[in-house]
Chain A
Amino acid sequence: MAAYFGNAAEDLVPDALAGFARAHASLVTHDTEHGYLLARDPAPGRRVALLSGGGSGHEPLHTGFVGRGMLDAAVPGRVFASPHNRSVYEASVAAAREDGVLHVVKNYTGDRINFGIAAERLARRGIPCARVLVDDDLASESEEIRAGRRGTGGTVLVEKILGAAADSGLALDELAKLGGELVARCRTLAVASRAHTAPTTGGPAFELDAGQLEYGVGIHGERADRARAHGPSSELVAEMTGSLLQTLAPSRGDAVIALVNGLGSVTPLELYGIFGELGRLLDDRGLDLARCLVGNYVTALDMRGFSITLMVADPLVLERYDAPVRTAALSW
């Protein structure tokens, strides 16, 4: 704990939740028994509740996205660990609307299992439940990885757009289908030049050689499968963007939503520079950079790194992205 400002490593999450609930009391209520947050004033027209969750350490994800226009509930686990199925189940029961609850789950084995168990329990109780699995991380795409691509930065865009769709009264199966389509047109790549600080030891989670960066990191402090020289941003961002566009294969003139996301301790100064590079690259490819977010949205504690997420959007997706939202971390 030496480097962290807290009481004890195991108290970081419950202490932060209590503080968050007080700071944003107009937006959320806090169930201290099961450790979840509910939207205080969700849109009345929703037929389906949107719920997400997963390990903590990614703030503002997911608690910062609870509120009007986005999530009805967030269920945080311990740092980088899945929440218990009971918390997911109890939060789902509390949040469910007449057409049930949609779980937005980042693709990690523990989250899949715990949200899956909660879904089986909801079925026993007669509450309809469906899942959107977010697996946008391009770096973990491999024939050899049975677990599949990880879920990372794209989760924010998926939750925002699904929130607007839910507010327009879509049914559970329609939302689940839309979620799958959004994930399919969205990919993320992340790099890091320094590991996060481990809360238990106060030291870096791994060491990097000087002048190197990890190319293709996740959001749990894991190393990437390769390191590369830490050169100028123009080259790095071009390589990342090239890989994303090769996979997404947009057509000239397509609208794109871009998220340049800090992983915890990259400065806004750097993030806007990176975004500038990205914008020029998209212009050169004849793409329409229609919307953007620049800042810390899906972090990995204090990892010194960033991710780029691109989502190919049609007019309806843009309309839903633009729909009003009032949460702690996104508001317009």
Chain B
Amino acid sequence: MTTAHFDGAFTDGWIRRFAASARATEPELTALDQQSGDGDFGVNLNAGTTAALARLDAAGPPDAAGRRRAAGPLDAAATAFLDEVGGTSGPLFGLLLQSLAAAADVEDDRLTTPALAKGVAEGLAAIRRVGEAEPGDKTLVDALHPAAEALAAAGAPTPPDQALRRAAEAAWQGVRDTAGLRARLGRASYLRERAADVPDPGAVGVALFLTSAGGTVTALTPYLSPAVS
């Protein structure tokens, strides 16, 4: 597929694939989070995507002309994560989705590569404002920051599917790099060096979301192994 922008049917499919990826990898996410946090990240992520699916289904099919706002499914998923997920990282995901929806709104309701870059950059900024996390703190920022840079570098000439692939690759590299970091914030910070070799589950969630734009992720292991890039 090479298209200059994503429409509502695409963003709807993206959220559905994200939900399928979250479901398929929940045991692995839970195992990761048990080593570094309180073990609820996989469950919280699935609570968010499940609530998002319910909202997508409630929104019904596209209108008679076959059109669907690109922002619609992203806004629905944002509200699901913001309203219905406990803990911290679920609502922070909601902020990323909300910023993507806002960017799609501005770009004539089409998700172009520059709109994606803007949405992810603003989502990153919002998450950093709220969570007060910086790159290197071993949080989801460590996946989102390189992804935002990859999207910004891609620019308008790059089709959005290709730009998202690069962003996902950059995010997975960021995920693998978190395995070498020591947490300074959040629950993992109390474990100090005991959680040192484990990648951050929140960062994995970001990479899962970006990869799900192109397909469903069924297992984390290939992405977490340093041999794969």
Contacts and interface: CB of A to CB of B under 8 A. Distances in A.
A280 interface: no
Interface string B63-100: 00000000000000000001100101001101100100
A261 interface: no
A84 interface: yes
Contact of A112 (B102, B132, B184): B132
Nearest to B101: A124
Task: Tell me if B's interface is mostly helix, strand, loop or mixed.
Answer: helix
B86 A84 contact: yes
Contacts of B180: none
A92 interface: no
Interface stretch (B10-18, B23-31, B123-131, B217-225): B123-131
A305 B70 CA distance: 56
Q: Chain B contact residues (Cβ within 8 angstroms of A): what range?
A: 10 to 19
A116 B129 contact: yes
A124 B92 contact: no
B130 A116 contact: yes
Task: Tell me if A's interface is mostly helix, strand, loop or mixed.
Answer: helix
A113 interface: yes
A119 to B, nearest CB: 8
A124 B86 contact: no
A85 B91 contact: yes
Given A117-B94, A124-B98, A86 B82 contact: yes
A116 B129 CA distance: 8
Nearest to B123: A120
Contacts of A119: 130
A271 to B, nearest CB: 37
Contacts of B95: 117, 120
Q: Which 10 A-B pairs have the closest CB atoms?
A: A116-B130, A86-B83, A120-B126, A117-B91, A85-B91, A120-B95, A117-B130, A124-B98, A113-B88, A113-B130
